[in-house]
Chains A and B, each alone.
Chain A
Amino acid sequence: MAIARAKIKSAGAAKSPLLSAAMFTPAVLYILLIVGGPFLLAIFYAFSDARIGNAEMHFVGLENFRSILQSPSFRVAIRNSFIFTIFSQIVVIIGSNILAIALEKTFRGRGLLRFLILLPWVAPIALGAIGWKWILDSIYSVITWVLVALHIYKPYNAPMWLGEPHLAIASVLLVHSWRLMPFSTVILLAGRTAIPKDIPEAAAVDGAGFWRTQLQIMIPMMRPIISVAVLFGLIFTFTDMTVVYILTAGGPFDSTQTLPSLAFATGIQGSDLAAGAAISLFLVPLLVILAYFMLRVAHRAEVS
């Protein structure tokens, strides 16, 4: 495969360097215009005092970064970004492992169940988030309604899922997990099916019970594929602002703000383009680290 690819490449390059350049151009242009341009613009804005509706702009050095670092909202946003990303991954990995184990066995209606589990992934994020907004609504929440009907809460002191900081954080976390679970489940299911049946059978004959087989044999063997699922999940959650934006819009009192949502709220809604750009730049080093690991996993998969 690699040899064939190299041959094609070298043959093409030898025949016409212009052709290969022409084939590359769309991809390069795409990245430069769609990713590179805005990225450079964001760096440029971050060192200025650009505002929406103001044509004047001055270089202000690190002023934006200095003021951001002192803002309590920013610190909450950083903390939330990490909380949402890390805890949702923990929930997702545990949940999707359980689902993958359950869905591996053949039973009646497995196809339908797999389809239903995949639905949150194929539905638009906004649609799912709006659904959850209703489920968690302060007045119409179906969860509250059930809890009241069960006499666990009285109607007047029922929890405000999106209105109290801790509950709001938990709610956003839950929706993130719900959203990523199907994707992770499908990946893990594929990884699980790729393990020869002999291996768990050998473990059974060797005297291992369910937990030992899963924890010491199956899951370690799936480590490469689990790391793919986790890396994708980390990036999706870390850069996502739809869930927070629709559920809480960062509230109450900026308690569920994340880096992307705070950048949007400050830069676009608050008209302070410079501060918004500076906030969003804080995503870069973290995403670079994640990208590095993704490339490593991809490389390892290619080699083996």
Chain B
Amino acid sequence: MAVVQTRNLTKVFKEGQLGAVNDVNLETREGEFLVFLGPSGSGKTTLLRMIAGLETPTSGEILIGGQIVNDLSPRERRIAMVFQSYALYPHLSVYKNIAFPLKAQKVPKDQQRPKVEWAAGLLGIGALLDRKPRELSGGERQRVALARAIVREPAVFLLDEPLSNLDAKLRASAREELERFHRRVGTTTIYVTHDQVEAMAMGDRVMVLNKGVVHQLGTPTEVYDNPADTFVATFLGSPPMNLSEIGDVIAGFRPEHFRPASTADAGAVPFRFKVENIEYLGSEWIVSGTLAGGKMDGKKVFSRLASAQTLKLGETYDFAVPRRELKFFDRATEKRVEPRSVTWQ
């Protein structure tokens, strides 16, 4: 097991253009599950590929287990990677797929079989060893890819959106399985995804990236409750945090904290809310509309409620946000600032 560090890591694909990854400094913790989260084009995969050794950094350093690995080939970095497509070798049986890294490392033949069987058993694919990849379902392929990654007991696991090829139902169970798998093997894992649900559910910590820049690195609670800037605030959460410029700051509050005034405590900030659309999602309701009156008149906001049966389209209601749930961001830098008193009306 090992810790992965990057120092001022930068990747520029075309000279003179903006880097795909810009000046990233990060340090994983021993055995943690770290998630790189960002929209497509945010540089998260490029960053992972640099750590894997599949992409050469333009500048900066990568350390694995305290050793600089910039000049080492992927095979010398003792990493294992699971690709988005799984990249199974289609002409080889499941057994040979899993045994391939062992063969490449010249593990003696008689030690290969027990290791392959151990990895296959860990992922519950012991019965599939003679099949070819094309005879497997998506979920089984993913497990083969994981078994092939775990079999050589790598120092670091790199996973590049391994769930994105699965259908929604399978994805939830595969996610849970991955979490359990990580708890069992305890290997430092870096997981790339654009799916905030995966990131929140699985990550010990989440690193939010956009345009090659790290916006925040923290636990799921930290990035959700205390976003470092407006990008993190709006990227996480669905619907995103309501943001509104007021004076020299941007004020924000989560839709779930924007609720009818009758349910709020005494010190809450009151708003008039004109309901324009109501969506019923089973366990919750998403109500969208505009604020009426005050400095933020006409501003579009979302509310997430457990029940919205009494609300009617086109009507205006008294809503409120608890003071402690208000977040403030600097208007120029969009970075988070200390709470301050604002005149709302």
Contacts and interface: CB of A to CB of B under 8 A. Distances in A.
Interface of A: 196, 198-199, 201-209, 212, 216-217, 220-221, 223
Most B CB contacts (10 A, CB to CB) among A198, A204, A207, A223 go to A207
Nearest to A212: B104
B80 interface: yes
A204 B101 CA distance: 9
B89 A208 contact: no
Contacts of B100: 203, 206, 208, 216
B87 A201 contact: yes
Interface of B: 52-54, 73-75, 79-81, 83-85, 87, 89-91, 100-101, 103-105, 148, 152
B307 to A, nearest CB: 47
Contacts of B84: 198
Contacts of B103: 212
Contact of B75 (A196, A208, A220): A208
B79 A205 contact: yes
A196 B90 CA distance: 11
Given A202-B81, A206-B80, 11 more contacts: A196-B87, A198-B83, A202-B89, A204-B54, A204-B73, A206-B148, A206-B152, A207-B101, A207-B105, A217-B89, A221-B91
A205 B81 CA distance: 7
A204 B91 contact: no
Nearest to A220: B91
B153 to A, nearest CB: 12
B91 A205 contact: no
A223 B75 CA distance: 26
A207 B75 contact: yes
Contacts of B83: 198, 201-202
Given A205-B54, A206-B148, A212-B104, A198 B75 contact: no
Nearest to A304: B134
- Tell which of A196, A205, A217, A221 has the most Cβ of chain B within 10 Å: A205
A203 B101 CA distance: 8
26 contacts: A196-B85, A196-B87, A198-B83, A198-B84, A198-B85, A199-B89, A201-B54, A201-B87, A202-B83, A203-B104, A204-B54, A204-B73, A204-B74, A205-B52, A205-B75, A205-B80, A207-B74, A207-B75, A208-B75, A208-B100, A212-B104, A216-B100, A217-B89, A221-B89, A221-B90, A223-B91
Given A199-B89, A221-B91, A206 B54 contact: no
B90 A198 contact: no
Q: Interface SS of chain A: helix, strand, loop or mixed?
A: helix
B104 A208 contact: yes
Contacts of B105: 207
B104 A207 contact: yes
Nearest to B96: A216
For B73, B104, B105, which residue has the most chain A Cβ atoms within 10 angstroms? B104
A196, A201, A221 interface centre (most CB from chain B within 10 Å) = A201
Nearest to B78: A207
Nearest to B73: A204
Given A204-B73, A209-B75, A199 B87 contact: yes
Nearest to B160: A198
Contacts of B85: 196, 198
Contacts of B91: 220-221, 223
Contacts of A207: 74-75, 101, 104-105, 152
Nearest to B77: A205
Interface centre among A198, A202, A216, A220 (most CB of B within 10 A): A202
B22 to A, nearest CB: 24
B90 A206 contact: no
A156 B87 CA distance: 61
B24 to A, nearest CB: 21
Rank and list the top 7 A-B pairs by shortest CB-CB distance, nearest first.
Answer: A202-B87, A198-B87, A207-B104, A207-B75, A206-B101, A208-B104, A205-B74
Contacts of A198: 83-85, 87
Nearest to B148: A206
Contacts of B74: 204-205, 207
A205 B77 CA distance: 9
Nearest to A196: B85
Most buried by A among B53, B81, B105, B148: B81
A201 B52 CA distance: 10
Contacts of B104: 203, 206-209, 212
